[in-house]
Amino acid sequence: MNTTSQKAKKRLFIITGILVITSVVLKFINHNHIEQTTLLFIGIPTLITLMVIQYSKTPKTAYGVAFQVITLFLLMASILFGEGTICIIISAPIFYGVSFLIIFIISQINKRKKNKAYTLAVIPLILVLFQPNQYLSTPKVYSVSTSKLIPHQASLSQLQQQPNFLRDYPSIFKLGFPTPQKITGNGLDVGDQRHIQFLSKTKGIGTLSLVIDTVSQHSVTFDIIADDTHINHWLTWQKVKVEIEHQGDQSIVTWTSNYTCDLGPQWYFGPMEEIVVNVMNEHLIHSYFNGNSNH
């Protein structure tokens, strides 16, 4: 067996070994229901990268092997992540980014210091990326308000109709997010409830249950009773408020969703969730009030 074949075989053994170890860690994470935390999104790429560095001779080889292993891991783990394509799309940048950053810092340190112990200097960086303060403080409540101009006089009574959720799904839903299917419940008095069913391609049907907390002539606020949809792996709904402002023969409908981001690190996933919630708000306004333009 020539030298090239031996190197290729050794590389294959390294990749296989790293994937086996990473798969065991992933099973542990899923078993303990902490798959939405930074332990997955920062810990896994860190583990892969450090193992690659340990068994690779040069930074160039480390980059190549690390990215190759991470790609294979993401493809394999998409089944366990839950929503397949969307999980790969959202997770890939942070996996590759963390890996690149760690390899770069360690390679720069080792260029100047022969003692490998100096690679421990990367630990403070990892701790910052892990954002440990999010576990010690009260979760931040995000508030996303979306307003749309309705070309007619809108009314809160339209919230009692059965919206056609299956019509005109936003493109982002088609990537794999759970999609609303139907809603049960009626009434516009305090205490009246709504139960919205969401379909997850991998987890099946889940229900988001809401109850009216306050109501006025032009607004209604819902509290959350329960949520067993797959969305609750990513965020926890707090309140939903719908407001209507009349302007002549037209109306402005504002849909405000309050929630906490349950994915970590929040500096990465927080802005993404705001975008998705805004799209969901727009879809709900369109489904109930037939809005056709942004305000």
* More confident of the two residues 21 and 223: 223
Domain boundaries, the chain: 3-130, 141-294
pLDDT band at 292 (very low <50, low <70, confident <90, very high): very low
Point out which residues pair with 211 in neighbouring strands: 193, 223
CATH of domain 141-294: 3.30.530.20
Picking from 265, 260, 277, 280, the residue whose alpha carbon sits closest to that of residue 91 is 265
User: Per-residue pLDDT tens for 137-195?
Assistant: 677 899 999 999 999 999 999 998 888 766 677 777 766 678 888 888 989 999 999 99
Q: Which of 56-70, 175-189, 216-230, 255-269 has the highest mean pLDDT?
A: 216-230
User: Per-residue pLDDT tens for 21-35?
Assistant: 777 776 776 666 655
Point out which residues pair with 239 in neighbouring strands: 223, 258
Name the strand (E) or helix (H) holding 11. helix 3-31
pLDDT band at 131 (very low <50, low <70, confident <90, very high): low
| Global pTM exceeds 0.85 | no
Local structure of residue 1 (DSSP, 8 states):
-
Specify the long-range contacts of residues 292-295, CB closer than 8 Å, at least 24 apart.
Answer: 292/148, 292/149, 292/150, 292/151, 293/148, 293/149, 293/151, 294/147, 294/148, 294/149, 295/147, 295/148, 295/149, 295/252
pLDDT band at 55 (very low <50, low <70, confident <90, very high): low
Contact criterion met (CB below 8 Å) for 202 and 82 = yes
